[in-house]
Chains A and B, each alone.
Chain A
Amino acid sequence: MSNLLDLLLAGLATGAIYAIVAVGFTLLWQTSQTINFAQGEFVMLPAFLVLAAMHAGAPFWFAILIGILLSLLLLGLGFKTLLVNPMLRHGVLPLAIATMALAIGIKEAVKQFFSAEASPFPSIVPAGDISFFGHPVSLQSIGVLALAILAVVGLTAFLNRTSVGHQMQAAAQNPTVARIIGVPVERMILLTFLINAFLVALASLLITPIYLAKFSSGEVLGQAAFIAAIVGGFNQVRGAIAGGLLIGVVDNLAAAYVSTQYRAAVPLILLIVIILFRPQGILGRAEERTI
């Protein structure tokens, strides 16, 4: 029983990070039809920005601020202005391919300018255990889970309960009508990219102490979050959250009770089942298109 509790908690903690990254996928898709295949590398990069700031002499907390600000600049504003804007007019597919190229570029740049080796990364959550019904539970797992949930709840509240959030949703659902009623659609889209940049930076701060900072660490994360977004529903933030948590738990249970070798296949099998029986995802909305 305690073993199952450990697995569920570890799965939820990892899944919550997948959820944050998956939410970014859905936000970009909803507002600008961007499928960002560099999303995993977007999670990897902020950790190296923080490390670079620390190497330059900044204390950890200040390096985090620098890392987040640089992420907003590079992965939010820069990504939208330099890659998405020029490519989107050529269609979704060229843009998707361009993000694949970007993923390779980021990986190789980190490898060349930082290191191909893994580096340690300090945790923002203190080490240690707390007792949960007499069972020791890692403070780090709890902390990661709590921070991730806080981020997701905060984002949901922002989208549903603020005027800016409503404008973002309007811009995502029907940009033409949104423009007519005075919503600054372009600014809302930019805000979405900045939110995505913040989410990946947060995910980076949470996952890197566990996975270590390495140029290739985004591959696994990007794939898991992409599957989570599809499983949960690519066009719904709540779907991405559910998908992330589900993939995290399923992955851990599969590794423990099925096989470590086949663990990577289990989320993919889940993906196939979802596509066959509920193509819009668990909590997604079916979209119809007139041809």
Chain B
Amino acid sequence: MKPGILASALLATVLTGTAFAQSGTPIKLADVAELSGGGATVGTNWKNGIDLAIEEINAKGGVLGSKLVVTHADSQSNPGVARAQVQKALDNEPYVLLGPGYSGSVKVTAPLAAEAGIAQIMGGEAAELTQGGNKFLFRTSFGQQSSMPKVAKYIHDEVKAKTVAIVWVNNDFGKGGRDVITKEFGRLGIKVAADISTEAGQADFAADVSKIKAAAPDAVFIYVNEEESARMLKELKRQSVTVPLIGETTLVGQKVVELAGDAANGARGHVGLTTDAPVELVKAFREKFVKKYNYVPDHNGIKGYLAIYMIKATTEKMGKVDPKAFADNLHGLTIKAANEPGILMDATFDQNGDIDRQGFLVEIVEGKQVIKQVLPKLN
């Protein structure tokens, strides 16, 4: 190769490689979310949270002088489609990959992002996701390994239940949660009176509720997705089940309350994120979201919003737009709300990509989430 051609090739390579770093060049983000199918509530909230944060940041001049641009792709709540969409998104060399929200979809897409060396900020909560040594995967909410022990402790200490029926959705998310909480129940001496697996997208819960009634537990732990939670709560009310109903964010989220109506009253759960949190920045976020979209977001809306502010804080800490260095810099990072209000609450990301932040125990009272207890950040 002639020296001139070699020099041109090198120059082209350097220019392409540093394209991200140039101030004013838009920073490309790719989002793959559940915009239709069973997870449409999850994906739509997530997407709207992302769009709101990007609009805010761009209105203030962007990140390090560069505007953020995002492309949204629909996984159709199907892991196979999610994988294809993520591969397509990675081919466009995004700065960071956002989503998916379903753990099953995260599981099959995370290796692709890791192989490309692109950080992936996702909504999945299955415990196993961050336990496989993937250095590019980050959570926006608690994993099951953090949340389930708190729920089990609440059922043991506060509800004082000796027997519990577990209702879970038969996918990576549900099975992961069921496995962790069953172990915790065993440790605390709580007997599992019924272990009921349900299907994603299930419409009819009459038989499942009959099984619960037959088992006569002291409490029911429900760990299914939002729409199924609403159907389950309606059926439990229809069949006059009156024992405490306890779950996680997917049982007491805003969408569940909207869908289940009166049937949601009395449901309790641990939530990492809620727009009813007694935190001024969260309240301000809620107002902005409602003003823009005309509905109250659930935790997925907050997750999407936080994902963008995680990118902003990390990039500003690095002082450059470098996709390869992004993951390393986010590991071990503490983002304080005092410095970056968009992060809403102080958050620390450990070496696995798990998040540490304060959480809440809530109860649905007259169609509203009421915070019963604030659980502080651990570190």
Contact = CB atoms under 8 A, between A and B. Distances in A.
Contact of B227 (A11, A136, A212): A212
Tell me what chain A mostly uses at the interface: helix, strand, loop, or mixed. helix
A10 B206 contact: yes
Given A120-B258, A211-B231, A212-B231, A260 B207 contact: yes
A120 B259 contact: yes
B230 A118 contact: yes
B22 interface: no
Contacts of B261: 120
A258 to B, nearest CB: 10
Given A3-B213, A6-B213, A214 B227 contact: yes
Q: Which residue, of B206, B211, B237, B259, has the highest number of chain A Cβ atoms within 10 A?
A: B206
A254 B211 CA distance: 12
B199 A256 contact: no
B378 interface: no
Contacts of B303: none
A115 B227 CA distance: 14
B211 A256 contact: yes
B207 A252 contact: yes
A268 B163 CA distance: 36
Nearest to A213: B259
Given A140-B238, A211-B203, A211-B231, A116 B44 contact: yes
Contact of A138 (B37, B40, B204, B238): B238
A141 interface: yes
Given A116-B40, A116-B44, A260-B197, A127 B237 contact: yes
Nearest to B230: A212
Contacts of B35: 116
A12 B209 CA distance: 16
Given A3-B213, A260-B198, A116 B36 contact: yes
B214 to A, nearest CB: 4
Interface string B208-222: 111101100000000
Contact of B214 (A3, A119, A127, A216): A3
Given A211-B203, A251-B204, A6 B210 contact: yes
Size range of the chain A interface in the assembly: 35 or more
Given A6-B239, A116-B37, A210-B231, A256 B204 contact: no
A261 B199 contact: yes
A93 interface: no
B167 to A, nearest CB: 10
A287 interface: no
A209 B35 CA distance: 23
A106 interface: no
Given A3-B214, A138-B239, A256 B207 contact: yes
Nearest to B197: A260
Contacts of B170: 260-261
A7 interface: yes
Interface residues of B, number: 38
B36 A111 contact: yes
Nearest to B207: A255
Nearest to B43: A116
B101 to A, nearest CB: 13
B112 interface: no
Contacts of B259: 118-120, 212
B131 interface: no
Contacts of B299: none
B262 interface: yes
A278 interface: no
B100 to A, nearest CB: 15
A288 interface: no
A169 to B, nearest CB: 34
Nearest to A9: B206
Interface string B26-50: 0000000001110011001000000
A79 B230 CA distance: 33
Interface string B236-274: 011110000000000000010011111000000000000
Q: Give 7 closest A-B pairs by Cβ, nearest first.
A: A10-B206, A255-B207, A116-B40, A256-B207, A116-B36, A211-B203, A138-B238
26 contacts: A2-B213, A3-B211, A6-B209, A6-B210, A10-B206, A116-B36, A116-B40, A117-B41, A117-B44, A118-B230, A120-B258, A120-B259, A120-B260, A127-B238, A127-B262, A138-B238, A138-B240, A140-B238, A210-B238, A216-B201, A220-B203, A252-B204, A255-B208, A256-B210, A260-B199, A260-B202
Given A138-B240, A211-B204, 18 more contacts: A3-B214, A6-B206, A10-B206, A10-B239, A14-B204, A115-B44, A116-B37, A127-B238, A138-B239, A210-B235, A212-B230, A212-B259, A254-B207, A256-B207, A260-B207, A261-B197, A261-B199, A263-B207
